[in-house]
Chains A and B, each alone.
Chain A
């Protein structure tokens, strides 16, 4: 659509078109109460992710909760001073929980988007061009499949100072394979569809065909796997942090769990365990529930009957 008589109008229409498709596709939320609950949780999580650190009453690391006598409140159950209790060295669990949402959010968001985008691109190119491009890319995914994620990630993180962005990178580098495969097989079938042949017959270049005709039709799958990618990334980040390979300068939910586990206080300090544990569980489950509902929309074969 390079030359347009009224570009703005056209643009507006396009935007509306996209919005409509999205609206169409998201109507499932109204039907599926589970997915709706998931959306609420995700929204809350996004809110925490953006504003969590600002909402935290105290600095999660530097501030120490003290009793009236001024001595450190260690492993205190939830009280007025610390509504979620305190850690072994008197840190406010609530503040840690709030601040910990941010790295979780960042890794989830960017890990998910990176995974989805990279996988989508690889799947698209691989499926569309076929031949040796496909062969090479698919062998590459086979390779990432055969290298075990956790050990490889641990190895890398042993030598490089872990940071949230590095983790995101590693996660993307290992997880893109999932969407890539699915997108590719989807592309393979779309590629055979008549309208793609028809586009080529009307003289569209490969790039144009791929971007305008094939890509939009596999986009839902791409979205779906981006959503799953978010959940995977959050889970992966939490897992690595739990194993002690997370960014030590940042409080994340995974790291909080690591600290309770390591401190040997898991048996007593339930207030310290539950917020991060439930936080992670809730967000990953929600993302999956939404993804599943969305999957039913784009794959009518398995749609729930009313």
Chain B
């Protein structure tokens, strides 16, 4: 399903021109890897799409998975309409989600020119720009689209080592500007997190970006909720179930998030995505590769054992030794850990790592040494009853049906003042919840029914706007919406000659009516970024000073026209021909692909 054949075009619809090629210019440009990518097998390109002078464009494959988000197909249709307006035929590939991902596992790169998927609202993506930006660098395993921009590469590399905050912010802003201007991808929107909760029984839901009040990435709602009735058990309906009680070796399922309720990290993040102390109360970089932290005193594990620096050291070493799967970002840059005192540790890093304090130590999970040291094979260990220091104590888990924790009274998060500091306006006071129970309700329909029937107090997954409205039609149930920092990333495959033409990319960006889509389909429950900027304005790293290519079909068309593209009588777009073709070939050369026509001093071919 790799896309159009060879650039001869013409055969299926549209009439191509006779190629007219200035000497020294190839008549056809093939899909090609322009750099040596470790992740990409250049001999066996997953995508084969060539450009031929004067030829009508082959259909452009558009890839997505309708399992990704219910409206994802609508989104693909929007992109399709954009391309259609430009006279480009498209071919929609609706793929099973796992296969969409499998392309990355096989590390052969994307198999379609345009491929869209949403990024998960992993809290760390809201805290630090690295998770979303570093994948645009040359060596990232997650760079599937063969994107390479020398300037961006430089800026990103620099910022990843810049431990100085202001310096880094500047660099990150620069990176956003470069990427947006270059149309490195189509960052169409940040979909809102919509859910519904019972506000008659509980007050004090905390809206967290990317998480809403009810998802499991943050624990703020649960520690802040105040019962309005005598029942202090807060029941959350979910559709996914935890696979095990082994957080560090979880494969990223629901357990990786839900179990963090039991544990603490070294630092935590507020609903405003600011870093606040948790098990560590202070400290920071001593030099570029050394971090020293002071740990909170008086903290006890749920079984009564005291928490010490030994636990931190043990945790990191265990993770490293047995390759913890869920805590990779935390321990990855750490070379070694030293215990400086009962409540003081030093991390020696492998290299300068800017994100260490802003991302990696935040919501990391520290496990008790006394529980884990005798575990023979931690990756296959399923603790009977996990012990942490977190705000909630493990009570019971029934695979596939329920997970139950109870309040850890002594935890600092239940200190009203502390919460007032961190949560600001959203903070409440009172006795709080006694228990939090996750119940797997399996399907959305029953979940809405259960919420309306009062069997559950909140829905722990995202709903569509209309579902939330339906749920909220019952008294006592309210729809809740919060912003999101994880964008919908519409990746462009840069091995493809067409994509490498910046004029085309700009035209593409102009042809996609994201605003209209957000209004019409998502009923405005999404944020449309200004420009192709993956860093959301919810995060402190965001810059609004980015190039924004407005939705403007005519503008897009005239861009193409000036770049030498033409249309046949049926309105099918053709590659440039003659001199314009030579200009096209010039534009897509490795050094030039981030420059527009006029920057290269090319003529206006319209």
Residues of A within 8 A of B (CB): 61-62, 71-72, 74-75, 88-89, 157-159, 161-162, 244-245, 248-249, 261-268
Contacts and interface: CB of A to CB of B under 8 A. Distances in A.
Given A262-B70, A264-B467, A161 B521 contact: no
B466 A88 contact: yes
Nearest to A249: B94
A93 to B, nearest CB: 16
Contact of A248 (B66, B80, B102, B445): B66
B95 interface: yes
A88 B74 CA distance: 11
Interface string B444-469: 11011100000000000001101100
B71 interface: yes
B96 A245 contact: yes
Given A261-B443, A268-B470, A248 B448 contact: no
Interface size class on chain B is 20 to 34
Contacts of A161: 1, 95-96, 99
Contacts, number: 62
B94 A248 contact: yes
28 contacts: A62-B77, A74-B466, A75-B466, A88-B464, A89-B70, A158-B96, A159-B99, A161-B1, A161-B95, A161-B96, A162-B96, A244-B67, A244-B96, A248-B65, A249-B93, A261-B443, A262-B443, A262-B444, A263-B464, A264-B444, A264-B445, A264-B448, A264-B463, A264-B464, A264-B467, A266-B445, A267-B445, A268-B470
A89 B448 contact: no
Nearest to A59: B77
Contacts of A248: 65-67, 94-96
Contacts of B598: none
B95 to A, nearest CB: 7
B276 interface: no
Nearest to B443: A264
A23 to B, nearest CB: 46
A263 B92 contact: no
B74 A249 contact: no
B96 to A, nearest CB: 6
A244 B1 CA distance: 20
B604 to A, nearest CB: 35
Tell me the interface secondary structure of chain A in the complex: loop
B49 to A, nearest CB: 19
Contacts of B463: 264
Contacts of B94: 248-249
B19 to A, nearest CB: 33
A22 to B, nearest CB: 42
Contacts of A249: 92-94
A244 B443 CA distance: 14
A67 to B, nearest CB: 12
B287 interface: no
B180 to A, nearest CB: 29
B538 to A, nearest CB: 27
B385 interface: no
Nearest to A72: B520
A264 B447 contact: yes
Interface string B516-545: 000011000000000000000000000000
The 7 closest A-B pairs by CB, nearest first: A264-B444, A248-B94, A264-B445, A249-B94, A267-B445, A266-B445, A89-B74
Nearest to B239: A264
A45 to B, nearest CB: 25
B98 interface: yes
A98 to B, nearest CB: 19
Contacts of B443: 261-262, 264
A263 to B, nearest CB: 6
A72 B523 CA distance: 10
A170 to B, nearest CB: 15
Nearest to A250: B94
A47 B167 CA distance: 69
B73 interface: yes
Nearest to B471: A264
Contacts of A88: 70, 464, 466
